[in-house]
Structure 1
Amino acid sequence: MWVQKVHSRKESIYNVLKKNKDQEFFTTFSTWETYRPHRLLILDSSFNPPTKAHANLLTKALASKPANYFDASLLLFSMNNVDKELTGASALQRAQMMELMSHSFDHPVAVGFTTHGKFVDKAKAIQAWFERPVELHFILGYDTITRLFDPKYYTPIPVQEALASFFQSCYIICADRGEADQTFWNQIHQPIERIQLDADLGFISSTLVRQTKDQDKLKSMLDPNILQFIQDENLYSV
């Protein structure tokens, strides 16, 4: 049902993307349009494609807090990632797959896009869109969090100074696969919560999905609706 629905919304989503392509932040889908959350959980990724690991990250982060701690969640894609070119699925196809993923949760979820690659700028854009302070909780993988604190993105401003305003309203939940370097953590002075994926999902990555042709393996890595969409769109030659 949901696959057919996102197919039917293709033109509508495309028009939203086209109309807002220069906006710093906007949404293509939301189940919480009627109110504005006070505490927002954000899963920022390339979603190329969304996998069971992505879903597990959101589930784990939600479960790490008391029930109803987060008012809503946001699946966020940056159209100008600081380290990646846009290959594979188009922005439209990612929007559709992210929308499919949102239906996996009994929890208010939106699909958002930003033109920013740096988290400092993403946070500012999201705050501006809400037009009032919102507590933002970003779920980041270990590779991403090391980039967040990498001085090269802020030169000549010191990292702590550059991130000071970010940590006034933003919090980090780090999801790692056991590759974390304790030396790195010893250098971090902000309180960062750490979670881990379920053991049977830790091996999953979008790259692995794109390289896999075996249908049984794909079923173990993808939600059935996502897999169906990929097959319908002939994405990644699956």
Structure 2
Amino acid sequence: MSPNVKVLDFFKEGLENFRLSQDQLEILCEAPRHDAGSPLTQDVICNTTISTNRKTDALERSKPRLPRRIIVMDASFNPPTSAHMQMATSAIRSAGDRRNTRLLLLLAVSNADKAPKPASFEQRLAMMNALAQDVYEEISYDDEAGAAAPESDDNGHRFGIDLALTTLPYFHDKSAALAAVVETAFEPPPTGRAPVEQVFLIGYDTLIRLFNPKYYSRTENGETVNGIREALSPLFGRARARLTLRADADWGGREEQLAYLENVRHGDALEQAGGLKEWASRIDVAETGDAHGLVSSTSAREAAARGDWVRLRELVPPRVAAWVQDERLYQESE
């Protein structure tokens, strides 16, 4: 059996188990580290399964330590791009104590009974696993330069990247579900449990949607009720948002986006939406360069459809590009 088939079979099984469990969120596995010189198509099946749906003594012993911080990248990964990788590595580097930090790559599969297009969910999980290898390699350069602490501390904390699935559409629901899942997915440290801070990586378009009251309205006794405070107060109580600005035709330029954020922080934007001004203190702006600002999954799919592998490698991380080319994903015949 070829390595790629093994990887895809692993993720197909994980998807089916998740569907049958009827859980709302599951941490499927921890992505393993692989040597930089390894073939990009070799068997990179997740080797540390921490799913609460796969309880055996052997797997229970393999649980990572409960981190103090979980960085959450919630995306369609169709495919993961260089912009995704830049957002992830920037957040990891800014986190400080990397040994107490984990990166969670979260894929929403709300329509799991339908065949997703243009790449299946198991293919997206495989590309997320490839992205994890590229992130590991990128931040390993920090270790070589002496910029990072030892891999683990006295309590067994270490940095890792986890792959997760959810059926939930909204951040506040995903955050609550994740807070519950970490209680069983990770091993508490021997010195006692500390609150786990969640950091959601978001773009400007997501910020706009996050504060749009239409997503939180409900009807009670024939009247429309704005439930934004009920939904977002618990979210910002346990989580922060790390905002990456990206100028484009749909969402305006950087200055326009910064002006909106300024109104959120010091104006009346949140109150007008029914929210609380103090939520703004939980939003951090990632100061990043423009190198990946115009990279989109759409442009990557178009390059793959043309068979323009040189262009694809300019748009997505190396192992992701190798997987897409090897599997011939996004071809025009699909």
TM range (shorter): 0.7 to 0.9
- Post-superposition CA distance 1:65-120 (Å, at most 9, x none): 32427521101111138xxx943111111111001111122441011111101011
Q: How do 1:142-153 residues align onto structure 2 when only pairs under 5 Å count?
A: 142-153=204-215
Q: Distance in 2 between matches of 1:185 and 1:53?
A: 24
Alignment of 1:206-221 (within 5 A): 206-212=297-303, 213=306, 214-221=308-315
TM-score by length of 1: 0.88
Shift of 1:131: 2.2
- Name structure 1 gaps, 5 residues minimum: none
Residues 14-53 of structure 1: matches in 2 within 5 Å?
A: 14-21=12-19, 22-31=22-31, 33-53=63-83
Q: 2:214 is aligned with what amino acid?
A: K
Structure 2 residue 169 is the aligned partner of structure 1 residue 138: no
Q: Find runs of 4+ consecutive structure 1 residues off by over 3 angstroms.
A: 4-7
User: Within the alignment, does 1:75 sit opposite 2:105 as a pair?
Assistant: yes
The letter for the 1-side match of 2:285 is R
Deviates more, 1:193-202 or 1:31-40: 31-40
Structure-to-structure mapping, 1:30-179, within 5 angstroms: 30-31=30-31, 33-68=63-98, 70-80=100-110, 86-104=116-134, 105=136, 106=140, 107-131=159-183, 133-155=195-217, 156-178=225-247, 179=253
- TM-score, normalised on structure 2? 0.64
> Rg bigger for which structure?
2
In structure 2, give the amino acid aligned to 1:217.
Answer: R
Q: Look up the equivalent residue of 2:289 and give its one-letter code.
A: D
Given that 2:309 and 2:325 are in contact with CA atoms closer than 8 Å, whether structure 1 keeps it comes out as: no
Distance 1:199 1:218 in 2: 18
Identical pairs, percent: 29
Q: Which residue does 1:13 correspond to in 2? A: 11
Cα distance, 1:181 vs structure 2: 5.3
Q: List alignment gaps of at least 5 residues for structure 2.
A: 32-47, 49-62, 141-158, 185-194, 218-224, 248-252, 264-268, 271-276
State the partner residue of 1:194: 285
Residue 135 of structure 1 and its aligned partner are, at CA, apart by: 1.2
Kindly indicate whether the alpha-carbon contact (under 8 Å) linking 2:95 and 2:101 is maintained by their aligned counterparts in 1. no
SS in 2 for 1:165: helix
CA distance in 1, matches of 2:322, 2:109: 24
